[in-house]
């Protein structure tokens, strides 16, 4: 057996032991906390809602920002908020998409960064904040809270209420962030599911309760206005550090330095779905490496240069521990990959197995590490399965091996990028990850319940909803049953569906529909999918339907035209009437 292979066994085994004991401490703290905690429920609606400014920085997001705003503005169960989106002057497509959204939604405001991009997300956020100040000056209104989100986020309907609730006792509030589920064989995205299930369901809240600073997740993060003003006063009006690639982590450190209280909203389930911000993460190896290299650069390397091991922070020893946990991947990722390779080698090498068995200390070290690894995998499987199901969770160990390879590649790339920029004395740029907004099927779990909208808008009473649910035949829509019972009009039903689905209700007149537009889709397709083309504008085909479009319906209708298809709702009786008029 090669001597250098034997020489690696001791050092690698000792590092694995130290790292595993570190993870075990967090697991034990989590188990203790889980045994004693009280579940957090949905916050009650109160007469007063603190005003919220939602900040969304953009670069190259022309394809996703429109659907993101359409969906989220239709589902957020909160009234007192405004949306500020930041765009660069040299990103024309995203700028036009943002301006179109601001014309469509009165609560959307565009902040233009006055120089070319991309710089970094922190720089964009600083200019958005300046736009907020201008809005306050013009309107005489002051925002109590600022919330951060990205262009691909599905914001939970109750997210703002939870931030408002917890902001009464903390200056920084983090809503859990979870990837949307994907197939069992999508190991790259599944790795994100495992990582975030563990961090959001276990690590972050345990970390804060142990006295550590809260590294923000970048989305679903709320800040009290007073905390941001303290940062502005201390750091020459630079609330978000413009040199940081991970402004969320940087903000958590700086606010902790100021003594601000930080809290993670406990991960709870409401109506079978987690109360969390949802999104798709990278699903290919190259995009995952790109994103993770940015995280490593910002969270480990830049933060090390700026904050050392807890400089200026309360409870410095505790902060040093969590800095160690955040940075150990710099050396631990390559070492973990080496351990995996040695494990494979050992499966085929009797000489290596004999070496371990004949060395008492090495055998004991290997045995202890095996037990700690088993504990680690059991915990990881359990937290992943609690969110994504047991079948998915059981594959967590296989995804962990795949993750070692991805994280090692990302570590090497981060080190190269960071030190190359240092040598060349160049700023680090915004390493943007391409985003895809979820399909309508993925959005369904985030829609407000139809009955909730009907009651909140005064269309019918809760008693009527309860009675209809009890008597509605299986397979029949609750809205149609309410109409049959005389509790709801058709117009009210479609207004509620419009709010739920973020689809406009259109009032059509056959005389206004050009015959050529009416024939934009084949007659068989229009009849099969119950759609009616009625307008062509700006490269878009508007179609009306009395049905809420499914993913299949959207894909099939789109096949018949090169124009972008946009769906509108029309009441069923009116749709039938219009179709008869078109045939005459």
pLDDT digits (tens, 9 = 90+) for 141-151: 999 999 999 99
Instruction: Evaluate whether residue 79 is within a structural domain.
Output: no
| In-domain check, residue 391 | no
With 90 as the cut, is the pLDDT of residue 3 above it?
A: no
Per-residue pLDDT band for 411 (boundaries 50, 70, 90) equals very high
Q: Structural domain of residue 458, as residue ranges?
A: 449-501
Plot region of 260 (φ>0 → left; ψ -120 to 50 → alpha; else → beta): beta
Residue 86: beta bridge partners?
57, 111
Lowest-pLDDT choice from 98-102, 187-191, 510-514 = 510-514
354 versus 140: the higher-pLDDT residue is: 140
Identify whether 569 is part of a domain: yes
Compute the average pLDDT of residues 340-355: 74
Q: Are 252 and 222 in contact (CB under 8 A)?
A: no
All residues at 6 or more sequence positions from 525 whose CB lies less than 8 Å from its CB, including other chains: 531, 556, 557, 560
**Same domain, yes or no, for 526 and 567?**
yes
**Considering the entire predicted model, what is its pTM?**
0.76
Q: Give the helix ranges, DSSP H, for 389-458.
A: 390-393, 396-424, 440-443, 450-456
Q: Domain count of the chain? A: 2
DSSP assignment of 248-300: HHHHHHHHHHTT--EEEPP--EETTEESSEEEPPP-SHHHHHHHHHHHHIIII
Q: Is residue 236 part of a domain?
A: no
CATH number at residue 579: 3.30.300.160
| pLDDT for 91 beyond 90 | yes
- Tell me the torsion sign for CA atoms 69, 73, 77, 78: positive
Nearest to 354 by CA among 1, 10, 17: 1
41 pLDDT higher than 50: no
Tokens 């537009």 correspond to 517
- pLDDT at 405 exceeding the cut of 70: yes
* Residue 565 belongs to some domain of the structure: yes
pLDDT of residue 2 exceeding 70, the answer is no
**Under 8 Å between Cβ of 113 and 86:** yes
Above pLDDT 90, what percent of the chain? 47
pLDDT at 40: 46
Looking at the domain assignment, is residue 3 inside a domain?
no
> Which residue would you say has higher pLDDT here, 240 or 577?
240
Structure tokens given for 108: 């959307």
Q: What is the pLDDT of residue 459?
A: 82
Residues 516 and 468 in one domain: no
Of 511, 510, 515, 584, which is closest to residue 544 (Cα–Cα)?
510
577 assigned to some structural domain: yes
Of 365, 368, 341, 370, whose CA–CA distance to 355 is shortest?
Answer: 365
For residues 519 and 556, state if they share a domain: yes
CA torsion 330-332-338-342 (nearest 10°) is 180
Weakest mean pLDDT among 164-178, 275-289, 457-471, 519-533:
457-471
Q: Is residue 311 part of a domain?
A: no
Same domain as 570, residue 523: yes
* Comparison of pLDDT for 106 and 262, the residue scoring more: 262
């Amino acid at each position: 057996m090669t001597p250098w292979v034997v020489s690696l066994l001791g050092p690698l085994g000792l590092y694995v032991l130290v790292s595993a004991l570190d993870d075990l401490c967090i697991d034990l703290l989590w188990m203790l906390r889980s045994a004693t905690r009280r579940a957090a429920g949905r916050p009650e609606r109160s007469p007063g809602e603190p005003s919220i400014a939602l900040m969304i920085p953009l670069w190259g997001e022309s394809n996703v920002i429109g659907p993101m705003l359409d969906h989220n503005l239709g589902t957020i169960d909160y009234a007192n908020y405004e949306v500020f989106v930041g765009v660069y002057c040299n990103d024309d497509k995203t700028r036009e998409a943002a301006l179109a959204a601001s014309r469509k939604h009165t609560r959307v405001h565009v902040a233009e960064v006055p120089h070319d991009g991309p710089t970094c997300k922190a720089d964009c956020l600083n200019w958005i904040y300046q736009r907020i100040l201008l809005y306050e000056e013009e309107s005489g209104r002051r925002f109590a809270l600022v919330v951060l989100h990205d262009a691909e986020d599905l914001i939970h309907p109750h997210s703002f209420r939870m931030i408002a609730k917890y902001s009464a006792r903390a200056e920084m509030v983090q809503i859990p962030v979870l990837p949307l589920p994907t197939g069992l064989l999508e190991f790259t995205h599944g790795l994100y599911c495992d990582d975030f299930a563990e961090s959001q369901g276990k690590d972050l809240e345990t970390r804060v309760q142990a006295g550590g600073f809260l590294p923000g997740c970048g989305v679903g993060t709320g800040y009290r206005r007073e905390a941001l003003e303290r940062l502005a006063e201390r750091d020459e009006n630079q609330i978000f550090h413009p040199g940081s690639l991970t402004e969320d982590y940087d903000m958590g450190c700086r606010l902790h330095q100021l003594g601000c209280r930080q809290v993670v909203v406990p991960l709870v389930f409401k109506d079978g779905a987690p109360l969390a911000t949802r999104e798709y993460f990278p699903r290919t190896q190259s995009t995952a490496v790109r994103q993770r290299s940015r995280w490593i650069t910002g969270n480990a390397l830049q933060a090390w240069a700026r904050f050392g091991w807890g400089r200026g922070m309360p409870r410095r020893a505790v902060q040093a521990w969590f800095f160690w946990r955040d940075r150990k991947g710099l050396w631990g990722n390559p070492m973990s990959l080496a351990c995996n390779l040695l494990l494979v080698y050992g499966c085929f090498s009797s000489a290596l197995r004999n070496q371990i068995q004949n060395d008492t200390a090495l055998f004991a070290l290997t045995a202890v590490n095996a037990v700690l690894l088993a504990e680690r995998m059991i915990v990881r499987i359990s937290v992943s399965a609690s969110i994504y199901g047991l079948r998915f969770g059981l594959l967590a160990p296989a995804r962990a091996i795949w993750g070692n390879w991805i994280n090692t590649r990302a570590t090497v790339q981060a080190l190269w990028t960071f030190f190359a920029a240092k040598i060349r004395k160049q700023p680090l740029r915004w390493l943007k990850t391409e985003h895809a907004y979820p399909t309508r099927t993925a959005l369904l779990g985030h829609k407000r319940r139809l009955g909730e909208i009907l009651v909140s808008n005064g269309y019918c009473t809760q008693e009527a909803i309860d009675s209809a649910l009890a008597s509605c035949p299986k397979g029949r829509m609750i809205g149609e049953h309410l109409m049959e019972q005389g509790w709801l009009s058709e117009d009210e039903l479609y207004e509620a569906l419009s709010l739920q689905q973020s689809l406009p209700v259109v009032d059509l007149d056959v005389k206004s529909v050009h015959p050529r537009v009416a024939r934009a889709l084949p007659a068989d397709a229009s009849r099969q999918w119950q759609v009616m083309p009625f307008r062509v504008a700006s490269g878009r085909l508007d179609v009306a339907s009395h049905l809420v479009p499914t993913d299949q319906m959207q894909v099939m209708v789109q096949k018949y035209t090169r124009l972008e298809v946009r769906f509108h709702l029309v009441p069923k009786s009116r749709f039938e009437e219009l179709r008869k008029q078109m045939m005459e």
